[in-house]
Amino acid sequence: MTDLHSALKRYLSMRKGLGYKYQHQTRRLADFVSFMERRKATTISTKLAMEWATLPPDRHASWALRLTDVRGFARHIANIDPKTEVPPVGVLPGLKRAKPYVYSDAEINALLAAAMSLPPAGALRRWTYHCLFGLIAVTGMRLSEAIGLHCDDVDLDAGVLTIRLTKFGKSRLVPLHPTTSAALRNYAERRDAHCASRRSPHFFVAERGGPLLHQYVHRVFWRLSREIGLRRPGDRTGPRVHDFRHRFAIRTLLGWYREGIDVEKKLPALSTYLGHTCVRDTYWYLSACPELMQEAARRLDRRWEAKP
């Protein structure tokens, strides 16, 4: 008989010791163990794993992810309990990556202008979201990286951001254009004046000086998107904050193609800049954007035409 709670504790400790954050997985696996307890089951079976993974029934997109979590845990348990069944790969459809929305310059300018109209009129809030969304758009940073920046991570004299312990536990440096440094310096001065008596270690702060929370940032983004016509009232899908990052990557690749640069050689540099753990994550953009595929096809055509 296996004590699943103790086994889960050891498994999570091992994964985190290897550098994985495992925040969402911790929550999901704790829920799975509770599910097993309610079923009075002490051994993981494929049937029980599938039953749990397909909850709730109307969220198909998360099913494969949930089963993947259990599969890793089950492999760990199988070393000490040979009765454990490891759910096979491919029994549930994988999560499809959302098609990136490539913002136009006009749409980004409209969004940033709308941010400057956020109430209240004399508050820091409008400047915070104007600079936050602008920074993500011009650097391709993840939202979590931008709101996780501390003041010590922002060197505006050198024009460099230090992104620490990102999605995959890596750190990297992100250079800034002088105009971006100037905009961030202006924001920092406003922030310090606004929060003179309640300094925060965070670079981007909420109105009372605390850190920005993901859910509130998304709510502001949805509001601004509706105001400028990117989303209709009540839409549950549409352009996302993360699409700023997609736009940065796609525009960079398109620029290289049009300048005749060897994209194959440059891809590892873009992959490192974006904080990808594997260059294949950057290759995904080549197939995700029809315009990029067209540029690649044109280059291939020119190579064939140049052959004797």
Cα separation of 82 and 62, whole Å? 28
The model's pLDDT over 205-246, given as tens digits with 9 standing for 90+, comes to 999 899 999 999 999 999 999 999 999 888 878 999 999 999
Query: Is 39 among the residues known to form the active site?
Result: no
- In this structure, which amino acid lies at residue 254? L
Closest CA to 295 of 260, 270, 266, 269: 260
The model's pLDDT over 162-216, given as tens digits with 9 standing for 90+, comes to 998 676 667 899 999 999 999 999 999 999 999 887 788 999 999 989 999 999 9
- From the list 10, 167, 214, 302, the catalytic residue is 167
- From the list 245, 246, 247, 257, the catalytic residue is 245
Query: Is 285 among the residues known to form the active site?
Result: yes
Query: Is 242 among the residues known to form the active site?
Result: yes
- CATH code, residues 105-227: 1.10.443.10
Task: Answer positive or negative: Cα dihedral of 151, 152, 157, 159.
Answer: negative
Q: Is 274 left (phi over 0), alpha (psi -120 to 50) or beta?
A: alpha
Report residue 112's pLDDT band, with 50, 70 and 90 as the boundaries: very high
H or E segment and range at residue 172:
strand 172-175
Q: Cα–Cα distances in Å, from 170 out to 7, 47, 204, 275?
A: 28, 37, 21, 8
SS3 assignment, position 93: coil
pTM of the model: 0.74
Query: Is 167 among the residues known to form the active site?
Result: yes
Query: Is 276 among the residues known to form the active site?
Result: yes
H or E segment and range at residue 175:
strand 172-175
Task: Work out the number of other CB atoms within 10 angstroms of the CB of residue 67.
Answer: 21
